[in-house]
Amino acid sequence: MDKLIVEGGVPLRGAVEVSGSKNSLLPILAATLLTRERCVLKNAPDLRDTVSMLKLLRYLGVAYEFKDHTISLRPNGLERYEAPYKLVATMRASFCVLGPLLARYRKARVSLPGGCIIGVRPVDLHLKGLSKLGAGIQIKEGYVIAEARRLRGAHIYLGGSFGSSVLATGNVMMAATLASGTTVIENAACEPEVVDLARFLMKMGAKIKGEGSPYLEITGVKELHGAEYEVIPDRIEAATLIMAAGVTRGEVLVKKARAEHMMAVLEKLQDAGMNFKIMRDAVLVKKTSRRFKPTDVVTLPYPGFPTDVQAQFMTLMSVSDGISVITEKIYPDRFMHVAELNRMGAQVKREGPYAVVHGIRCLSGAPVMASDLRASAALVLAGLVARGKTEVSRIYHLDRGYERLEEKLKALGAKIERVKE
């Protein structure tokens, strides 16, 4: 098992390029199950989650080649309609094969994804949407068993306790592309990753209107064909790199950072006093001489402040000049990083879905342990700004969603090394 050793206090300088979006690629990979023809996906990030999804597709009978950030898939040899627990348990996004398998085979058996360290994430919206399309659904021995003699278009409301669901919207949208008639999804997720999936499906021949809005209209077609598509850059990685530059008082050009996908984050960073310039497909972070100003944040579905940036933003506020309140409205239990930041001297107190952050002048290096993907990134940022050395363990979480993050940071001048524990 690897860990990262970070020595703080070095301002980052130079240019860095954002990788393709993990949260776009995984459902798009699942969508290739809807056709028998070859698909080519470009700008694919080389991540643990990418490999996990490809293992599942191979198990189902998809042949593929992954080279130089391009994945070529041939799904004409599908042999199974079951996604077993051992493959789904490693990554929640694997559950996205349920809709495509049901649409192609009219039956599917997919393991429930299980628990998650950042809180309960039920699949009820997935099942509600698919049952509205005409699927009979049972849950037996930890598996969702779905069958349908014919999928029919329907009017579906996909609202949940914490708003819309990205994966549920994707699952239902994929199944609806091959359903007879027209499907309307109300309260659909509006995230750029959902738009990306919709546009890939449209390149395959799907008829979709309203992508990027809460109202999706899908007119079913008889079949989909293969397509070539380039995945959008990862807005969460872009935000993380921007904050890494800002928190170290560096000057970095973050290439392929699409400002239109993260305006809520950029606005809060501006409120905090970060100095940057929005450019075409890039953000130029300039040196910030003063301490950050305290800034309150509430996580919300897109276009609100993303929950996937909450932990990284907390690191920034931990060295701000005042008191900030961070409210987590998507996953109220997503505060596992608080204890580890406090080990580094941060003064953060959690009260239910709120975290009260008392900013201090400087963090101190310490051994810390990552609990999840975004917490890993937050601890790396903390290590970059802390005095002394920080050891971040369990970075396999980091490798799930950031492509060689330590190499990108090292190229910007960071003192960071990956070592075996």
Q: Give catalytic residue positions.
A: 116
The CA–CA distances, whole Å, from 37 to 34, 76, 78, 179, 335 equal: 9, 6, 11, 19, 43
Do residues 135 and 81 make contact, with C-beta atoms less than 8 angstroms apart? no
Structure tokens at 101: 């398998």
Structure tokens at 263: 């305006």
Tell me the Cα Rg of the chain. 21
**Nearest Cα to Cα of residue 2 among 391, 413, 297:** 391
**Residue 270: other Cβ atoms inside 10 A:** 12
Structure tokens at 368: 């810390």
CA contacts within 13 A on the Cβ side of 356:
4
Beta strand extents in 8-129 (DSSP E only): 13-17, 39-42, 63-67, 70-74, 82-83, 107-111
The CA–CA distances, whole Å, from 28 to 24, 31, 93, 130, 238 equal: 6, 5, 11, 18, 20
DSSP character for 130? H
The CA–CA distances, whole Å, from 6 to 10, 144, 343 equal: 10, 43, 15
Distance CA 368, CA 203 (A): 45
